């Protein structure tokens, strides 16, 4: 095999085993105004976290949250939804909810952070109370070192400005993945 063909084969093999580099390059083009930038920001994925001692009697419980939200331009105005479940360590579901996302902002270039706000439209909370109408503020860190998730529920009637970050604690994911794009 000639030198040219050997170099071509090695180059193609390198492209096949380095998809991360291709994705990173594509993302960099999008951040600089390439075709992907026209699609706007996005938060998508689902993951589980374990509540810490700061959650009091819920320490050790599992929270699962799933998102699919998109925003056009830099205004943050978004369309999308979220769903969640609160489980005891034995798997018993003690709360479920669904809601809409109405604002999404994304910051960062390599490690990206999404802040999304919205409201709960359906569900039950731990203890049987109704969370319907409560505001929701989520922060998702899409990091090379491992994603993190934080959130806050805002009581019905309390003002929650669009895209206001209110997460009190950022928790590492136990499983799952979030994708944050701008």
Query: In terms of domains, do 74 and 136 share one?
Result: yes
Residue 30 sits in which domain range? 1-39
Query: In terms of domains, do 81 and 1 share one?
Result: no
pLDDT for residue 117 is more than 50:
yes
Query: In terms of domains, do 72 and 82 share one?
Result: yes
- Name which of 130, 128, 170, 174 is nearest 151 in CA terms: 170
Q: Which residues contact 100 (CB under 8 A, 6 or more apart)?
A: 79, 80, 81, 82, 118, 119, 121
Domain count, the chain: 2
Work out the end-to-end distance of the chain between its first and last CA atoms, rounded to an integer number of angstroms.
Answer: 44
pLDDT for residue 99 is more than 90:
yes
Query: In terms of domains, do 51 and 34 share one?
Result: no
Whole-number Å distance between alpha carbons of 45 and 32: 24
Query: In terms of domains, do 100 and 136 share one?
Result: yes
Higher pLDDT, 52 or 126: 52
pTM (predicted TM-score): 0.76
pLDDT digits (tens, 9 = 90+) for 38-83: 468 999 999 999 999 999 999 999 999 999 999 988 788 999 999 9
Query: In terms of domains, do 101 and 163 share one?
Result: yes
> Is 165 exposed, middle or buried (CB count within 10 Å of its CB: 0-12, 13-18, 19+)?
middle
pLDDT of residue 39: 65
Query: In terms of domains, do 72 and 32 share one?
Result: no
pLDDT digits (tens, 9 = 90+) for 135-162: 999 999 999 889 999 999 998 888 888 8
Query: In terms of domains, do 160 and 81 share one?
Result: yes
Q: Which 8-state DSSP code applies to residue 60?
A: T
Query: In terms of domains, do 147 and 68 share one?
Result: yes
pLDDT for residue 1 is more than 60:
no
3-class secondary structure, 154? strand
Query: In terms of domains, do 21 and 98 share one?
Result: no
Give CA angle at 106 (102, 111), nearest 5°.
145
Query: In terms of domains, do 54 and 66 share one?
Result: yes
Whole-number Å distance between alpha carbons of 40 and 58: 37
pLDDT for residue 20 is more than 90:
no
Query: In terms of domains, do 154 and 170 share one?
Result: yes
Whole-number Å distance between alpha carbons of 33 and 70: 17
> Is 66 exposed, middle or buried (CB count within 10 Å of its CB: 0-12, 13-18, 19+)?
middle
């Amino acid at each position: 095999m000639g030198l040219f063909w050997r170099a071509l084969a090695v180059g193609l093999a390198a492209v096949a085993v380095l998809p991360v580099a291709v994705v990173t390059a594509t993302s960099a083009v999008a951040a600089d105004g390439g075709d992907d930038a026209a699609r706007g920001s996005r938060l998508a994925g689902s993951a589980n976290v374990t509540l810490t001692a700061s959650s009091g009697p819920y320490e050790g419980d599992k929270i699962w949250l799933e998102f699919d939200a998109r925003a056009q331009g830099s205004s943050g105005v978004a369309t999308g939804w979220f769903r969640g479940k609160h489980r005891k360590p034995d798997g018993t579901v003690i709360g479920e909810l669904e809601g809409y996302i109405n604002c999404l902002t994304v910051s960062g270039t390599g490690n990206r952070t999404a802040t999304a706000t919205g409201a709960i439209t359906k569900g039950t909370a731990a203890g049987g109370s109704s969370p319907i109408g409560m505001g929701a503020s989520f922060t998702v860190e899409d990091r090379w070192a491992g994603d993190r998730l934080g959130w806050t529920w805002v009581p019905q009637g309390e003002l929650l400005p669009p895209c206001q970050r209110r997460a009190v604690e950022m928790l590492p994911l136990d499983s799952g993945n979030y994708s944050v794009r701008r």
